């Protein structure tokens, strides 16, 4: 237990180490791999340590922490006679998020060392911007190919350092503005890291797609923030969530389709989340984002950044929940995304893409839970999901790494190391990866009683059922069934049975830097569920106090009620989890070729043709608009036309001025004229310049006498 | 004592004679002589004014002496020039010395 002032100070310091590491790596150590990753991991470790001090040794130990959270702020922007204040806020919600962020970030930093083949030789013909191709080494007289180290190793650690800074900033922020700053930093890092292997056209396109798609959401979110500020003149959470401000927000009409101000702001902020958390209809970027290195997929596109989207709506829940219309939209989008993405995941063959769609689907679960006022369930699922999805992604990265080893061994580069149909039987080759992946997969499926995923999903079901949201309940139940199904399909195709390719036969377990994070995360994937077991649960209920409910509930002014226990949702989660797992296993245990897979339906395989639809509706018209209108009409026609008009027109005016003003008036009249006049006068006056001094003197004398006479007669002297 | 005006009339007459010489003579030596006369008429003036003014203030006398010195210098340079011109051009008529004229 640490002192409160210390906790405040530490909270300010949490985001600092990663950004320092980013700067140091970028400026100084980028040529040294060891220093770079030591700096990055050291920074992650420091952030982890401060986070643990603030959460485990402070926040989690205080009763009714929600009533007096850690908050501290400073004057930042002068605004006329007042100040815009920024600061840090750790309440139960951000404490929990901080907890899992710190753990996953640290785990993934360590994992990246192994993933990028630290300690391996330089590649034979590796290029910057391309994944390493392997290096030939000679051992005992014969050559063989081993994985080679990533050419841009330091750069990777710099980027994930900056990313971690963005995430920590977002979590500890006490206002929407700095939250948005962190949000955008992560957006940038996401772009940089998806396009990390920028020499691959697919990675480039994916990076641009991710950036552009999330930008759509971010613009709306910024609008929401601006609107919120114009209504309340504050962006600080604690000020907004006071009764009077919320009352104002709920009663002021927005003038848009009958929404209240709160409803419209909530909707705008939610659109930001739809972009960031890849919800329908802005989900298209996340599967493509799998082009990035796997640690990036795990950290940004599963555990932290996409969770940050959900975190933002959970954070703004008191505001969003004011308008029931917005809540309905939220619930609908969430539930629809959950089932929609799950159906696509069923037909994907790329091991990472299955997980990507699964992530979209699970984020949909959280959004749906929030939409039906199941606040705690949403938080619970957010945390458990972050752990087990990071675990699954890292596991898949480990599998791919093992497969790449096999590919290097056989030298057949036509085999896609990410295609699950090229795998099989990896259970014996990669035991640690298998068992941890199994734990992650079961947690994702909601394997009853043991895994964390079961408890969080069960809570969502219980809330949906208990509050009578039948549509959401049934949709999510089907989605959960599909989740279990595709997870088992993945596990069966990847790990069970016999190796289907030579490459799979030669797959190898990955180094400890990769397996250790897997083991740590799998502990959380199981153990984290136990903090939130409902008290009225048969047999297990009450054995461990439902700490999570108590703790998270404290974030809200009104403590949410515990839903009454009911057998229906419990049995539903049992049935869908076990049923899905069993079906997945029995359907796929004998499938060896994509052709034998009955679910390779074109419609699902091509993700409902969403990419094609968007291409037709948005991308092609945009290109057409750019080409035909902007380039050919506006640029070539109007702008160039005007410019081409300017040239000759200026020429004409210039010639006119020259011919009718410059030449006749300036040159002829003033210039030559003055010279001529001077010449003429000179010629005339020359006559009196006789050169005879006596004549001059005579003239002087005459003038002198004349002046004398004048002066004398007029009495002037 | 002779009144001051006599001196002044004398001086003016002397100056006019000198001026007439300068204006009317064609010989350069004669022109120089005219200039000398004009300078001397000035000296007469200076001496007269000193004598009839504050006798203790010798500025008039000093000035007259300076004029002598200047006149001597001027005449020596002027005559040297005239002799030099005479040697080259074999003439001392001022009107014939017109090489700088346009």
Q: Which ipTM did the prediction report?
A: 0.77
* Chain Cα centroid distance, residue A266: 20
Residues A424, A554 within the same domain:
yes
Chain A partners within 8 Å of B94 (Cβ) = 692-694
Does residue A36 lie in a domain region?
A: no
Chain B partners within 8 Å of A690 (Cβ) = 101
Q: Does A689 touch chain B (CB under 8 A)?
A: yes
Does residue A341 lie in a domain region?
A: no
Residues A369, A418 within the same domain:
yes
The answer to whether the CB atoms of A697 and B23 lie below 8 A apart is yes
Instruction: Evaluate if residue A194 carries a pLDDT over 60.
Output: yes
Point out the residue among B22, B98, B102 whose CB comes nearest to the CB of A697. B22
Residues A655, A561 within the same domain:
no
Q: Residue A526 has what pLDDT?
A: 85
Chain A partners within 8 Å of B98 (Cβ) = 691
Closest B-chain CA to A694: B23
- How would residue A304 be classed by pLDDT, with cut points 50, 70 and 90? confident
Does residue A261 lie in a domain region?
A: no
Q: Does A27 touch chain B (CB under 8 A)?
A: no
**Within 10 A of A556 (CB to CB), how many other CB atoms are there?**
18
Domain membership of residue A641 as a residue range: 614-686
Does residue A327 lie in a domain region?
A: no
Does residue A140 lie in a domain region?
A: no
Instruction: Evaluate if residue A469 carries a pLDDT over 90.
Output: no
Distance CA A685, CA A630 (A): 72
Distance CA A170, CA A261 (A): 24
What are chain B's domains? 4-91 (1.10.287.3510)
Residues A569, A460 within the same domain:
yes
Per residue of chain B (102 residues), give pLDDT as tens: 788 999 999 999 999 999 999 988 888 899 999 999 999 999 999 999 998 888 888 888 899 999 999 999 999 999 999 999 999 988 888 878 777 765
Task: Find which of A693, A700, A701, A703 to mutate to test the B interface (most B CBs within 10 Å of its CB).
Answer: A693
Does residue A258 lie in a domain region?
A: no
Residues A422, A507 within the same domain:
yes
Residues A593, A633 within the same domain:
no
Q: Tens digits of per-residue pLDDT, A482-526?
A: 999 989 988 888 888 888 888 888 888 888 888 888 898 888 888
Instruction: Evaluate if residue A543 carries a pLDDT over 70.
Output: no
Instruction: Evaluate if residue A427 carries a pLDDT over 70.
Output: yes
The answer to whether the CB atoms of B23 and A689 lie below 8 A apart is no
Mean pLDDT of A279-294: 86
Closest A-chain CA to B100: A691
Indicate whether this model's pTM tops 0.80: no
Mean pLDDT of A685-705: 84
**Within 10 A of A390 (CB to CB), how many other CB atoms are there?**
31
The answer to whether the CB atoms of A694 and B102 lie below 8 A apart is no
Q: Residue written as tokens 């009196």?
A: A688
Q: Mean pLDDT across chain A, nearest whole number?
A: 86
Task: Find which of B95, B96, B100 to mutate to test the A interface (most A CBs within 10 Å of its CB).
Answer: B95
Chain B partners within 8 Å of A698 (Cβ) = 23
Q: Tens digits of per-residue pLDDT, A358-387?
A: 999 999 989 999 888 888 888 889 989 988
Residue ending a domain, choose from A571, A605, A639? A605
C-alpha to C-alpha distances, B67 to B46, B75, B78, nearest whole angstrom:
10, 12, 16
Q: Tens digits of per-residue pLDDT, A607-626?
A: 777 878 888 888 888 888 88
The answer to whether the CB atoms of B23 and A694 lie below 8 A apart is yes
Give the long-range contacts of residues A603-608, CB within 8 A, separation 24 or more. Answer: A604/A343, A604/A344, A604/A346, A604/A347, A605/A347, A605/A348, A607/A284, A607/A287, A607/A344, A608/A340, A608/A344
Q: Does B100 touch chain A (CB under 8 A)?
A: yes
Instruction: Evaluate if residue A248 carries a pLDDT over 90.
Output: no
- How would residue A564 be classed by pLDDT, with cut points 50, 70 and 90? confident
Q: Does B101 touch chain A (CB under 8 A)?
A: yes
Residues A682, A700 within the same domain:
no
Q: Residue B102 has what pLDDT?
A: 58
Terminal CA-CA length for chain B: 56
Q: Does B99 touch chain A (CB under 8 A)?
A: no
Residues A515, A626 within the same domain:
no
The answer to whether the CB atoms of B98 and A701 lie below 8 A apart is no
Does residue A451 lie in a domain region?
A: yes
Residue ending a domain, choose from A550, A571, A605? A605
Positive or negative: CA dihedral A121, A125, A126, A131: negative
Q: How many separate domains does chain A show?
A: 3
Q: Which residue has the higher pLDDT, A259 or A391?
A: A391
Q: Tens digits of per-residue pLDDT, A17-31?
A: 999 999 999 998 888
Residues A510, A525 within the same domain:
yes
Residue ending a domain, choose from A583, A605, A627? A605
Q: Residue A514 has what pLDDT?
A: 84
Radius of gyration, CA atoms only, chain B: 17
Residues A597, A653 within the same domain:
no
Listed residue (A235, A219, A221, A225) closest to A77, CA to CA: A235
Residues A635, A539 within the same domain:
no
Is A374 in contact with A459 (CB distance < 8 Å)?
yes
Does residue A422 lie in a domain region?
A: yes
User: To the nearest whole percent, how much of chain A has pLDDT over 90?
Assistant: 19
Q: Residue A619 has what pLDDT?
A: 84
- How would residue A717 be classed by pLDDT, with cut points 50, 70 and 90? low
Residues A453, A518 within the same domain:
yes
Point out the residue among A686, A692, A693 whose CB comes nearest to the CB of B102. A686
């Amino acid at each position: 237990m640490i002192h409160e002032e210390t906790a405040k100070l530490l909270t300010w310091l949490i985001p600092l180490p990663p950004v320092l590491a980013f700067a140091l790596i970028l400026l100084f150590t980028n040529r040294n791999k060891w220093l770079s990753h030591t700096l990055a991991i050291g920074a992650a470790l420091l952030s982890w340590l401060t986070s643990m001090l603030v959460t485990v040794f402070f926040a989690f130990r205080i009763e009714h922490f929600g009533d007096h959270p850690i908050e501290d702020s400073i004057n930042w922007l002068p605004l006329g006679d007042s100040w815009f204040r920024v600061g840090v806020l750790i309440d139960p919600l951000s404490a929990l998020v901080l907890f899992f962020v710190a753990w996953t970030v640290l785990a993934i930093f360590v994992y990246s060392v192994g993933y990028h083949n630290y300690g391996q030789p330089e590649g034979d013909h590796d290029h910057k911007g391309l994944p390493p191709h392997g290096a030939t080494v000679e051992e005992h007289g014969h050559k063989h190919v081993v994985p080679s180290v990533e050419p841009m190793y330091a750069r990777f650690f710099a980027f994930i350092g900056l990313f971690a800074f963005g995430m920590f900033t977002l979590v500890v922020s006490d206002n929407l503005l700095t939250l948005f700053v962190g949000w955008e930093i992560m957006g940038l890092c996401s772009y940089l890291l998806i396009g990390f292997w920028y020499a691959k056209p697919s990675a480039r396109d994916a990076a641009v797609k991710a950036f552009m798609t999330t930008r759509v959401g971010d613009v709306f979110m910024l609008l929401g923030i601006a609107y919120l500020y114009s209504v309340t003149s504050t962006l600080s959470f604690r000020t907004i969530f006071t009764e009077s401000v919320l009352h104002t927000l709920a009663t002021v009409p927005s003038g848009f389709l009958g929404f209240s101000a709160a409803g419209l702001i909530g909707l705008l902020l939610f659109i930001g989340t739809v972009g960031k958390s890849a919800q329908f209809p802005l989900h298209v970027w996340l599967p493509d984002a799998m082009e990035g290195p796997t640690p990036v997929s795990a950290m940004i596109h599963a555990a932290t950044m996409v969770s940050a989207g959900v975190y933002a709506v959970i954070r703004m829940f008191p505001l969003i929940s004011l308008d029931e219309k917005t809540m309905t939209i939220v619930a609908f989008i969430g539930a629809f995304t959950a089932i929609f993405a799950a159906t696509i995941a069923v037909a994907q063959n790329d091991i990472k893409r299955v997980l990507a769609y699964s992530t979209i689907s699970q984020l949909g679960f959280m959004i749906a839970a929030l939409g039906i006022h199941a606040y705690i369930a949403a938080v619970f699922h957010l945390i458990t999901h972050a752990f087990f999805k990071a675990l699954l992604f890292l596991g898949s990265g480990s599998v791919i790494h093992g497969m790449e080893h096999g590919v290097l061994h056989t030298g057949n580069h036509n085999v896609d190391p990410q295609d699950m149909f090229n795998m099989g039987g990896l259970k014996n080759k990669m035991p640690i990866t298998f068992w941890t992946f199994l734990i992650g997969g079961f947690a994702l499926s909601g394997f009853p009683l043991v895994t964390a995923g079961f408890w969080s999903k069960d809570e969502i079901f219980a809330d949906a059922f208990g509050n009578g949201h039948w549509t959401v309940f049934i949709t999510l139940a089907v989605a959960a069934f599909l989740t279990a199904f595709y997870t088992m399909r993945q596990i069966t195709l990847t790990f069970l049975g016999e190796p289907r390719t030579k490459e799979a036969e030669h797959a190898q377990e990955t180094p400890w830097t990769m397996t250790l994070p897997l083991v740590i995360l799998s502990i959380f994937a199981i153990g984290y569920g136990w903090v939130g077991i409902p008290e009225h649960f048969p047999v297990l209920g009450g054995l461990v106090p439902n700490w999570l409910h108590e703790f998270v509930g404290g974030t809200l002014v009104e403590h949410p009620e515990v839903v009454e226990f009911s057998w229906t949702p419990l049995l539903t989660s049992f049935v869908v989890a076990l049923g899905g797992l069993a079906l997945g296993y029995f359907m796929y245990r004998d499938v060896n070729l994509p052709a034998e897979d009955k679910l390779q339906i074109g419609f699902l395989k091509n993700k409902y043709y969403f990419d094609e639809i968007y291409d037709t509706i948005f991308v092609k018209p945009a290109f057409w608009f750019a080409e035909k209108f902007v380039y050919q009409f506006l640029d070539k026609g109007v702008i160039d036309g005007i410019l081409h008009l300017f040239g000759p027109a200026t020429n004409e005016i210039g010639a006119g001025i020259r011919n009718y003003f410059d030449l006749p008036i300036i040159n002829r009249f003033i210039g030559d004229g003055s010279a001529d006049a001077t010449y003429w006068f000179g010629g005339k006056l020359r006559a009196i310049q006789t050169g005879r001094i006596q004549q001059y003197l005579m003239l002087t004398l005459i003038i002198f006498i004349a002046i004398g006479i004048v002066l004398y007669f007029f009495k002037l002297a | 004592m002779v009144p001051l005006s006599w001196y002044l009339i004398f001086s003016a007459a002397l100056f006019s004679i000198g001026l007439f010489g300068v204006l009317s003579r064609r010989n350069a030596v004669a022109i120089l002589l005219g200039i000398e006369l004009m300078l001397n008429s000035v000296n007469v003036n200076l001496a007269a004014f000193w004598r009839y003014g504050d006798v203790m203030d010798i500025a008039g006398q000093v000035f007259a002496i300076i004029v002598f010195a200047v006149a001597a210098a001027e005449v020596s340079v002027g005559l040297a020039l005239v002799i030099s011109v005479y040697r080259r051009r074999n003439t001392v008529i001022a009107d014939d010395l017109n090489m700088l004229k346009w």
